[in-house]
Amino acid sequence: MMGKDDLGLSLSLSSSSHHHRHLPLQLNLMPSSSASGRPPSPPFPCHQTTQWAGLLADSDKRPVLEVCGGAVDARSLPLLRGIDVNRAPSSGAVERDSEEDAGASSPNSTLSSVSGKRAERDTHLGDEHDPDRGISDEDDGDGSRKKLRLSKDQSAILEESFKEHNTLNPKQKLALAKQLNLRPRQVEVWFQNRRARTKLKQTEVDCEFLRRCCETLTEENRRLQKEVQELRALKLSPQFYMHMTPPTTLTMCPSCERVSNSTASTTTTITTTSTSSPFANAPAQPMPEHHQFLHHRTIPGPWAPIPLRPFLDAPPQRS
């Protein structure tokens, strides 16, 4: 069935039906090549890649044929193999006068019970009983729901349509129903359920993303708490201060007086005559005496790591 693979989805949970009725909600469900519109900015970034191939693979199901009120696996009937039971026989297919008619008496209607106001509406969309098309909706008298299984082709076409727009206007719905030989209501329901599946999938992805964020932040918080404790301990024990690996280090060239972050590629020039702090985020202040010392002493070999913060708090001991 539908794979549990991660999806590159973005969802605006604030969107409501009446809004995307005019500004159709376009979830970022498609591969990046999708040219469809996009939803409002997601509440958080999501960088996963969408893979919907599994959805199409799902459509490879046994066709089911309703025979005398019972569901029969078409594969168990050799004569029915290769026959799409969801499609009308080509010879018997009658061109409908209107698009509404295309759905109302689809062969699938023999498999689906119709009830409720919407069913009435669909039924009223031009359904005259067509004996050539088998059992009408009204003939499905036991009131039980009969489910049809959409054919592979039908599912694929619906998926393609959904990729283009996850909601349908009446014209599109009717055209699609006619193309697929389904009732418009069936197309409508399929899109409803498809949107629901999309949202469910997105919710799962969002939950996983948030869970990972939470884990990362928890770990980061734990690390920072530990660092704070270490720094407090060091402040109380100056003798250990110089032996501590600073949380952030700079590397300075003693000859050119360039300081660079040990991990960064950019360098910052320290000018001994400058009155501003060499630390980007530190307030401007006169150069401390020990800075003068550092800049004038000779440091052999490669650049020596220089603790950043200790400069502001405790002078290094001269050797």
251: Cβ–Cβ under 8 A, 6 or more apart, which residues? 259, 260, 261, 262, 303, 304, 305, 306
Indicate the residue among 119 and 135 with the shorter CB distance to DNA: 119
Q: Name residue, tokens 């790591």.
A: 305
| Residue whose structure tokens are 């002493």 | 297
- Nearest distance, CB of residue 48 and DNA, angstroms: 18
Least Å distance, CB 210 to DNA, is 17
Query: Smallest gap, in angstroms, from Cβ of residue 151 to DNA?
Result: 10
CB nearer DNA, residue 201 or residue 250: 201
The contacts of residue 219 (CB under 8 Å, 6+ apart) are: none
Closest C-alpha among 156, 193, 199, 191 to residue 61: 156
Q: Quick one: 63 or 278, whose CB is closer to DNA?
A: 63
Question: For residue 137, which of 123, 148, 117, 116 has the smallest C-alpha distance?
Answer: 123
Residue 169: alpha-carbon gap to chain centroid: 25
Residue number with CB closer to DNA (155 or 277): 155
Q: For the CB of residue 178, give the shortest distance to DNA in the complex, in Å.
A: 15
Residues 6+ apart with CB under 8 A from 201: 2, 7, 9
CB of 188 to DNA, least distance (A): 6
Nearer to DNA, 77 or 224 (CB): 77
Three-state secondary structure call for residue 290: helix
Q: Nearest-CA neighbor of 265 among 244, 251, 280?
A: 251
Residues that bind DNA (CB under 7 A): 1-2, 16-18, 20-22, 25, 55, 58, 61-64, 66, 71, 73, 108, 111-116, 118-119, 121, 144-150, 155, 167-168, 170, 173, 185-186, 188-197, 199
CB of 192 to DNA, least distance (A): 5
Is 145 or 212 the residue whose CB approaches DNA more closely?
145
